C-alpha cells in the first residue's frame, strides 16, 4: 500500500463515528461600509503605527513624490508594467533605473546591488494596514519587492478595502501573493519589536487619490 492510500485509509478509519461537518456561522463582519476618505485616514493611521512612511497625494503628484523619495538612491528597479506616467519627468532611465521583465529578469546579485524598488499594488486593507501584491504587471515578480532595502509602493485610493474579507474577495488566490504590513520586523528578542531584518527596512507608501 502506498503512503497515500495508507494515510487516507487511516483517516477514514479514524472517522468511523461519521462526524458531521457543521454549518459555518459567518456572522462576522464582511463589509465595512466606509467611505473613501475614512478608508484613507484609517490606512494611514495603521501604516504609521507599523513605522511605514506614508504620503497621500493627488494622482498627478505621484511622479514628483516618487522622485523625491528616490533622492539619494544610486539605483532603483521597476517592474516592466509599472503604470505609465508614474516615472514621468525622471530622465534617469539609463543611469539609475533598472527594468525587470519576464524576458530579461534581473539576477539576485543585481537586485541586491539595487537601492530601491517602485511598485504598484493590487489591493490594501485599511483596518490592518496591509498592502497586497499579486504579481500583476505593475507589481512584478516577488523577488523585486523583497531584495532591495527600500520599497516605494503606490496604492490607489480606489484599491483600498475596509476590512480583510472585502480585500480577499478582490484577489485571485492562485496568483503569487505577498501581503505586506509595514517594513520587515522581528519581536524575537524579549518581545521587543525591531523594524528591519531581512526584508526591506524602509517602506514608503504613496496613496494616490
Residues 111-170 that bind another protein (CB under 8 A): 112, 125, 127-130, 135, 141-143, 146-147, 164-165, 168
Cβ distance to another protein smaller for residue 16 or 95: 16
194 touches another protein by CB under 8 A: yes
Q: To which residue does cell 531581512 refer?
A: 198
Cβ distance to another protein smaller for residue 93 or 102: 102
Nearest approach, Cβ of residue 36 and another protein (Å):
21
174 touches another protein by CB under 8 A: yes
Cβ distance to another protein smaller for residue 85 or 170: 170
Among 8, 60, 93, 158, binds another protein (CB under 8 A): 8
Among 65, 181, 207, 208, binds another protein (CB under 8 A): 181
In this structure, which long-range contacts are made by residues 62-66, counting pairs with CB atoms below 8 Å and at least 24 apart in sequence?
A: 62/86, 62/154, 62/206, 62/208, 63/87, 63/88, 63/89, 63/90, 64/89, 65/206, 66/90, 66/118, 66/152, 66/154, 66/206
- Asked if residues 40 and 206 have their Cβ atoms less than 8 Å apart, the reply is no
Cβ distance to another protein smaller for residue 62 or 207: 207
- Asked if residues 67 and 45 have their Cβ atoms less than 8 Å apart, the reply is no
Under DSSP, the state recorded for 59 is G
29 touches another protein by CB under 8 A: yes
The site that binds another protein (CB under 8 A) totals a number of residues, namely: 73
27 touches another protein by CB under 8 A: yes
Instruction: Give the separation between CA 97 and CA 64, rounded to whole angstroms.
Output: 16
Cβ distance to another protein smaller for residue 85 or 176: 176
Distance set, CA 169 to CA 32, 56, 153 (Å): 13, 25, 21
Distance set, CA 72 to CA 87, 96, 152, 201 (Å): 16, 11, 14, 16
Nearest approach, Cβ of residue 201 and another protein (Å):
9
Give, as ranges, the residues between 64 and 103 that touch another protein (CB under 8 A). Answer: 102
Cβ distance to another protein smaller for residue 22 or 72: 22
Amino acid at each position: 500500500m502506498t503512503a497515500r492510500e495508507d494515510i487516507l485509509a487511516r483517516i477514514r478509519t479514524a472517522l468511523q463515528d461519521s462526524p458531521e461537518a457543521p454549518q459555518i456561522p459567518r456572522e462576522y463582519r464582511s463589509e465595512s461600509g466606509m467611505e473613501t476618505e475614512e478608508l484613507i485616514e484609517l490606512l494611514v493611521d495603521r501604516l504609521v503605527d507599523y513605522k511605514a512612511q506614508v504620503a497621500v497625494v493627488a494622482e498627478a503628484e505621484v511622479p514628483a513624490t516618487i522622485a523625491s523619495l528616490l533622492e539619494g538612491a544610486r539605483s532603483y528597479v521597476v517592474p516592466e508594467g509599472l503604470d505609465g506616467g508614474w516615472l514621468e519627468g525622471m530622465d534617469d532611465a539609463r543611469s539609475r533605473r533598472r527594468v525587470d521583465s519576464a524576458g530579461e529578469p534581473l539576477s539576485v546579485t543585481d537586485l541586491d546591488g539595487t537601492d530601491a524598488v517602485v511598485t504598484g499594488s493590487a489591493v490594501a486593507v485599511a483596518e490592518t494596514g496591509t498592502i497586497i501584491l499579486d504579481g500583476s504587471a505593475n507589481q512584478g515578480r516577488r523577488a523585486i519587492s523583497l531584495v532591495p532595502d527600500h520599497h516605494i509602493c503606490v496604492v490607489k485610493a480606489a484599491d483600498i478595502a475596509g476590512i480583510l474579507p472585502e480585500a480577499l474577495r478582490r484577489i485571485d488566490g492562485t496568483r503569487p501573493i505577498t501581503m505586506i504590513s509595514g517594513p520587515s520586523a522581528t519581536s524575537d528578542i524579549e518581545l521587543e519589536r525591531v523594524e528591519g531584518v531581512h526584508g526591506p527596512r524602509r517602506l514608503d507608501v504613496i496613496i494616490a487619490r
